[in-house]
Structure 1
Amino acid sequence: MSDLVNDHLHETRNNLVNEITSLSHSQFNNRLSMNMWSIAQVCHHLVLVEQATIKAIEWGLKKVDNTQTERKNVHLILDRTKKFKAPEIVEPDIGPFEVQSIIELLNGSRNKLLIFLDTVEGKSLLAKKSFKHTALGELPLDQWIEQIYLHEQRHIEQIKEIKLLLNARH
């Protein structure tokens, strides 16, 4: 994994934690409507996505066919005008959640990801092998890693928006 990707993962996660650390229990768990997630649910979703990404990379590495997949513009994830339906496997629990326990889950999933990536032999395989992403289609495995922090950046913007809407209510 490149230093740049590692820096982006680290910086984005720090930004996320900074956004949620000072939230009260009700700010963290309040849903503005039944078709919107709470900030806590957004964070739980990010944990689940990180865990699912590890699985996707594992499965992609095990695939026998080594077809070179075209690189995708993973930055499309940042376009919040495009809505994506979260696959069931990464839909968050209803909660409620504690801020500190979510931070621990986020730290745990990130540590698992970094440990897993350190164990990947032949890092060049990550650019050569792919696995199907629900929103982006067949995606090279190294771009699965990149989409983690881009997806997180997308949701940080959502969290900022939810915080503004919650503040407007009071």
Structure 2
Amino acid sequence: MSNLVNDNLYETRNMLVKEIASLSYSQFNGRLGVNMWSIAQVCHHLVLVEQATIKAIAFGLKKVDNTQTERKNVHLILDRTKKFKAPEIVEPDVEPFEVQSIIDLLNDSRKKFLTFLSTIEDKSILAERSFKHPALGELPLDQWIEQIYLHEQRHTEQIKEIKILLTLT
């Protein structure tokens, strides 16, 4: 894994934690509407996506079909005018969360993600193998890694918006 990817994973996670660390329980769990996630739920979703990404990459590495998949513009994830429906497997719990427990979950999922990636001896295989992404279609495995921090950046912007809207309501 390149230093740039590692740096992006680190920086994006730090920005996210900085956004949520000082929130009160009610700010963290407050919802703007029945069909909208709280900041806590957005964060739980990010944990679930990181866990699901480990599984997706593991499945992709085991795939026998080695046809080269075309690279996608994963930066589309940052376009928040495009809405995506989260697959059920990465939908957050409806129960409220404590800020620190989410930070612990985020730290744990990132540690597991990086540990998993460190077990891949030949990193070049990540660009050669792919697995189907729910929003982007067949995606090379190295781009699955890239989408983790892009997806997190997308939701960090969403969290900033929710924080502003919560102060107005």
TM-score in terms of structure 2 length = 0.99
Matched residue type, 1:141: L
Segments of structure 2 that go 5 or more residues without pairing to the other structure are none
The residue aligned with 1:144 is: 144
Runs of 4 or more, structure 1, over 6 Å off, are none
Residue 79 of structure 1 corresponds to 79
Q: CA deviation at 1:72?
A: 0.3
Match of residue 90 from structure 2: 90
Q: How many residue pairs were aligned?
A: 169
SS at match of 1:113: helix
Q: Deviations over 1:6-32 (max 9, x none)?
A: 000000000000000000000000111
Q: Does 1:69 align with 2:69?
A: yes
Give CA deviations for 1:116-159 in whole Å, capped at 9, x if unaligned: 00001211110000000000000000000000000000000000
Partner in structure 2 of residue 60 of structure 1: 60
- The answer (yes or no) to whether the contact 1:40–1:95 under 8 Å persists in 2 is no
Counterpart in 2 of 1:128? 128
Residue ranges of structure 1 left out of the alignment (5+ in a row): none
Q: Which residue of 2 aligns with 1:102?
A: 102
CA distance in 1, matches of 2:18, 2:95: 21
TM (norm. structure 1) is 0.99
Partners of 1:12 and 1:152 within 8 A in 2: yes
CA distance in 2, matches of 1:39, 1:129: 34
Identity value in percent: 82
CA distance in 1, matches of 2:86, 2:62: 25
